[in-house]
Amino acid sequence: MPSEFEHPDFQQETQRLEFTKRYIDVVIKTSESSKDKFQENMKEAFEDVDWLESSLSYSSLLTNARFFEMSKDELKQLKKARKKPYFARIDFLREDLNEKEILYIGKTSLYSRENQEQIIVDWRSPIANLYYEGRLGEVQYHSYEESFTGHLSLKRQYMIEDGILDEIRDIDLTTTDELLQESLSKSSSNRLTEIISTIQEEQNKIIRADLNKPIIVQGAAGSGKTTIALHRISYFIYQYKENFAPEQLMILAPSRLFIDYISEALPELGVERVRQTTFQEYVLACLGEDLKMADDSKLVNLLEDHGSEEVNLAAWASSIKGSPVFQTILTNYLKEIYNSFCPSDDFMVDKFRLFSHKKFFQLFLEDYNYLPLYRRLEKLKAVLQNDLAKKKKNIIKKIETYYDERIERALNRGKDPEKRRQYVSDALDKKAARLEELKKSFRTAVPKYMKQFPKKSLIRYYKDLFEDSNRLSRLSGGKLPLKDADLLCEYCRKLFRKKVYEREDLALMLYLQESLFGIPKELKAKNIVIDEAQDYSFMELLSLKKSLDTDMFTLVGDLAQGIHSYRGLTSWQEVLDFIFPRATYTELQKSYRTTVEIMEKANELLKLLPYSFPEVEPVVRHGKSPEFIKRENGHRLVQQLEEQVISLKKEDYKTFAVIGKTMKDCLLIHGLFKKHAKLPFKLLQEQESIPKDEIVIVPSYLAKGLEFDGVIILSLEEEFSIKSELDIKLLYVAMTRPLHRLYFYGMERNNFIIG
């Protein structure tokens, strides 16, 4: 007899599953047809069953049965849930209640329409935390401000495939989690999936960590950072569904390729409506400018031509533009710009002083300091206009009175009638002319006054910053020596002459844009998740925080994979100290992706890095050790690689990558594949989507974050042999991509540092 039938509750659980599925069907059917048909649909669905327990008896199902509205989203989730309505159950007796609660945990919740009991509890609900955290015995969970204590007597997992119950397992923390092992031993689909049934305790802590605080996660390769970040968004949306729309959240991924990679997990988690973009795309949208961006080729240049002065200068410029020095420079620069908006004169109409320049500047600097510069000007323009409108009548009156009095006096003085007549007539003309002039002034005074303020574009302001190296050095408060300022200005001006900008310029432009012109409201996300955060510079993170006006960030990254560290971060401390002081900082050391054998080999590389990275602990799953294979040339090499893939396919592995160090090597092997390959293949570029059934050829730096069942690291003309930090990190990235198998194909072992 199959083992699943050995569980004493198997029959009962099968019926429970059947009940749930039928109930879901009724709810779906009712919501799609007429809401009054709920009772009728119930009758139809349950008439033939004799297995309903007394609590769920047929007649009780029908009494008081009412239908409640469901939102489109809820209905969509429920339809998806039908194949696997839940994955676990917990039995919990709350201290203050008499009856044990039996809770089935699934991706989405389902309430009984009769008594509001939960048929399925959402995995994100407070009580479901007991499944992820609680050991059997005395436990506690928190719901909103309250905490509940009680006894957890059962944790049960279900293997349900296509709506059929295959297996039941009762677990507690002392048993090894077979479900996790099973899920990890599966082959990869080239896409990230949800892991709600196997979320581990330390991961759960991050997913559910205080949602009102930023969080920084330093996690080893394959520790589930991306996965957890997506689950945290899902958790956030669930907790704050009343307050936030998913569109107000944003995921910043390293490339379009990466967005495609995570896209499969998003609908599963109900977070597909979250804005998904890259840093560059986002900033360009904020700037509203169609800037020509230079290829982000610094990394490649550093790899291919690391000795050259030009390449080193470019990397140096990146590091400076990304560093905190620019926070000082921009703060001082903005101060200068603001001060240049102090008007030299008071606002006058005719001879009347309506607004002193001092008051104007005080409003500009202080009262409206919550607005970007040019919005303050708009506001002040409106203030002047209002003020003028209010005082208009009075001014006219004053002028009229002035002339009328003079005329009056002239009439009364009365010596020479002719002279008097002339005088009065002149005065009347003057009055008319002045009033005419005044009318004109009323129309033109404000625009004329506002004209004195410079109207420059963001790009102009940005370029101006690099016009004068003396000033740049002065703005840095001495932190950027004149010699360096000279170099940097020259470097930038050269780029600007070509009308090209680099990624490193974007952070600084964003900073200025926010202070000078503001960011469109619809782009102001309220909660931001950044994956591969180690590749962001200090200024990029700071500008994002400033322009979005929130510190609600989830940053996940791994410094050991910081291949952009020439511009990126080398420690989280600076970020914690100066950008996100409220952040919770956590580390994940366990890796779920790969086998013990592969991880041990990759750990050898970590020891070569100049920082002390703790060794990554693989979850115990064994496989074959990584293998070095002497490669052939030309068509024989293609044949060799194809044979390797075919033999892996025979072992039921499905996704494969050939990883070269740079695009140059990848293009070479791609050329050979084009000529000789029999199996389908694809060269991955930044904007591509990842194919499911083709051998993927990808340079190491683009493979970051991705995973494949089998990985072949190939060295053709390029070797991973210089023990530079960058080479080590790139090889580390490549070596941590496989789930199951890793091969090094090269001419000799030392093509691969630790080969």
Which one of residues 484, 535, 540, 707 is an interface residue with ligand ATP (CB under 6 A)?
Answer: 707
Closest CA to 570 of 630, 613, 520: 613
Binding residues for ATP: 219-226
What number of residues does the chain have?
755
For ligand ATP, the nearest residue by Cβ is: 224
Q: How far is the CB of 470 from ligand ATP (least distance, A)?
A: 44
159 versus 371: smaller Cβ distance to ligand ATP: 159
Query: DSSP labels for 168-200?
Result: EEE--TTS--HHHHHHHHSPP-SS----TTT--
Question: How many positions of this chain bind ligand ATP (CB under 6 A)?
Answer: 24
Contacts of 266 (CB under 8 A, 6+ apart): 230, 272, 274, 276
Dist. CA 558–CA 652, nearest whole Å: 31
> 302: exposed, middle or buried (C-beta count within 10 Å: 0-12, 13-18, 19+)?
buried
Q: Applying CB under 6 A, does 705 fall inside the site for ligand ATP?
A: yes
Query: DSSP labels for 67-84?
Result: -----HHHHHHHHHHTT-
Q: How far is the CB of 331 from ligand ATP (least distance, A)?
A: 34
Q: How far is the CB of 726 from ligand ATP (least distance, A)?
A: 17
Q: Applying CB under 6 A, does 700 fall inside the site for ligand ATP?
A: no
Q: Applying CB under 6 A, does 527 fall inside the site for ligand ATP?
A: no
User: Which stretch, 107-115, 176-184, 458-466, 533-541, contacts ligand ATP (CB under 6 A)?
Assistant: 176-184
21 versus 621: smaller Cβ distance to ligand ATP: 621
Q: How far is the CB of 591 from ligand ATP (least distance, A)?
A: 8
Binding mask 5-34 for ligand ATP (x = CB under 6 A): ------------------------------
Q: How far is the CB of 201 from ligand ATP (least distance, A)?
A: 10
Binding mask 541-570 for ligand ATP (x = CB under 6 A): -----------------x--x---------
219 versus 755: smaller Cβ distance to ligand ATP: 219
Q: How far is the CB of 270 from ligand ATP (least distance, A)?
A: 18
Dist. CA 246–CA 309, nearest whole Å: 47
- Alpha-carbon separation of residue 478 from 325, 326, 474, 735 (angstroms): 10, 12, 6, 43
Read off φ and ψ for residue 656, nearest 5 degrees: -140, 145
Q: Applying CB under 6 A, does 184 fall inside the site for ligand ATP?
A: yes
196 versus 475: smaller Cβ distance to ligand ATP: 196
Strand (E) or helix (H) holding 713: strand 708-714
201 versus 436: smaller Cβ distance to ligand ATP: 201
Dist. CA 509–CA 520, nearest whole Å: 15
Contacts of 275 (CB under 8 A, 6+ apart): 247, 249, 250, 251, 525
Contacts to ligand ATP from residues 226-265, by CB under 6 A: 226-227
Binding mask 581-610 for ligand ATP (x = CB under 6 A): -----------xx-----------------
> 366: exposed, middle or buried (C-beta count within 10 Å: 0-12, 13-18, 19+)?
exposed
Residues 592 and 184 sit within 8 Å (Cβ to Cβ): yes
User: Which stretch, 80-88, 193-201, 323-331, 669-677, contacts ligand ATP (CB under 6 A)?
Assistant: 193-201
User: Which stretch, 178-186, 246-254, 413-421, 597-605, contacts ligand ATP (CB under 6 A)?
Assistant: 178-186
Residues 254 and 704 sit within 8 Å (Cβ to Cβ): yes
Dist. CA 588–CA 244, nearest whole Å: 29
Q: Applying CB under 6 A, does 198 fall inside the site for ligand ATP?
A: yes
543 versus 591: smaller Cβ distance to ligand ATP: 591
Tokens of 132: 């992820």
329 versus 734: smaller Cβ distance to ligand ATP: 734
Q: Are strands 146-161 and 164-170 parallel, antiparallel or unpaired?
A: antiparallel
Closest CA to 641 of 700, 602, 681, 601: 681
Binding site for ligand ATP (CB under 6 A): 180, 183-184, 193, 195, 198-200, 203, 219, 221-227, 558, 561, 592-593, 705, 707, 736
